[in-house]
Amino acid sequence: MIEVRTCARLHLGLLDNSGKHGRLYGSIGLAVDHPNLVLRAEKSESLVIEGMETERVSIYAQRFIDRYGLPAGVHLNLLASIPAHVGLGSGTQIALAVGAALTRLAGLDLSMEEIALAGGRGVRSGIGIAAFQHGGFVLDGGHRILPGLESSPEAQITRIETNKVPPILFRHSVPKNWCFVTVIPGNAQGFSGEKENSAFLHLTKPGPQLVEKVSWLLLMKMLPSLVEDDIVGFGQALTEIQRMVGDCFSSVQGGSFSNPVSRKVIEFLLERGAVGAGQSSWGPAVYGLVRGNESARRLREEVQTFLAGLGGGQGFCVRPRNRGAIIRKIEEVVHVPTGLQTRRQGGI
């Protein structure tokens, strides 16, 4: 039996959804230690799916089998799952966990990129893939737009290199005492599936000045602050990047954040001491950054009380996860190698 353990990720923003300079998207994010996903897999005479998220597990398993023809039969059981469609990257983690488990069971030599592409992941962001593989803070370079005459959003998306996942430009461990108070407002969901695809086509295209400012904040404030353990500088850059990226998303979200409750929670987190705050991906999950477990615990209790007057929801404290997924066979624990970007560098 193979067991795969992986975690959620926070998506901190996109660099450029205009594609005017030959690349589209580019993402910032980091892996966190909660919520967790646990998948167990063993050979079987047929495809058997049980546990949580059976429909999505079945879809990703069938995609893998259709592409590689192996294994002929498998029993998959998802014991723990990341909440779906709230901005924590559950789809990518399920797809990669299923693909990694089937790769081991079939004895295949596949790179993480090949596993991701088999599951249809990495179409826009590479953060979830890098979080599964490496953990930590990650910056990806988006997709190269292939040459063509058309410049419409639809044409750009169909002309990106679909046989590649976004390259990882920077990866760094996050200080262990940085805590993210993460909140999922009740009765709200983010965009996914066709709704997400349609939304990307109708996003407001950022002007060159906005893209340049986001890039400057990332390069000259966020990244140095991370390396130097400057949580205040990191938080300031994060909040400002979130505000600017949110303005581009307002045309499809109805505001800078996915719903009024998420916006109010972000404002509350900042007022009560978070050094930075924002929305993960399409939300509705939001987060506030503080240093230390005690500060995180206190802020979580305060925001939980605040949520009670806004229809409820769930607040919890998460810390950075600076390693990738763990794959365990019987009693042997194997960490995902960091050099899985090409087949030649080794498989799972």
Same domain, 201 and 219: yes
Average pLDDT rounded to a whole number, residues 28-32: 98
Domain total in the chain = 2
Same domain, 147 and 59: yes
Same domain, 28 and 153: yes
Whether 51 and 77 have beta carbons less than 8 Å apart is answered as: yes
pLDDT tens digits, 162-189: 789 999 999 999 999 999 999 999 876 5
Same domain, 332 and 252: no
Same domain, 11 and 126: yes
- Would you state the structure tokens that stand for residue 1, as one six-digit string? 């039996």
Same domain, 234 and 292: yes
CATH number for the domain harbouring residue 139: 3.30.230.10
Same domain, 152 and 29: yes
User: In which domain, by residue range, is 93 found?
Assistant: 1-173+326-348
Sign of CA dihedral 127, 130, 132, 137: negative
- In total, the chain counts a number of residues equal to 348
pLDDT tens digits, 237-278: 999 999 999 877 666 666 678 889 999 999 999 999 999 999
Give, in degrees to the nearest 5, the angle at Cα 233 between 230 and 234.
80
CATH number for the domain harbouring residue 303: 3.30.70.890
DSSP 294-345: HHHHHHHHHHHHHHHTTT-EEEEEE-B--S--EEEETTEEEEPPS--SSGGG
Same domain, 34 and 167: yes
Q: What share of the chain is helix, strand, coil (3-state, %, to 5)?
A: 40, 25, 35
Same domain, 6 and 97: yes
Determine the Cα–Cα distance for residues 42 and 104; give it in Å rounded to an integer: 10
Same domain, 62 and 149: yes
CA 334 to chain CA centroid, Å, is 23
pLDDT tens digits, 268-304: 999 999 999 999 998 999 999 999 999 999 999 999 9
Same domain, 143 and 256: no
Same domain, 131 and 204: no
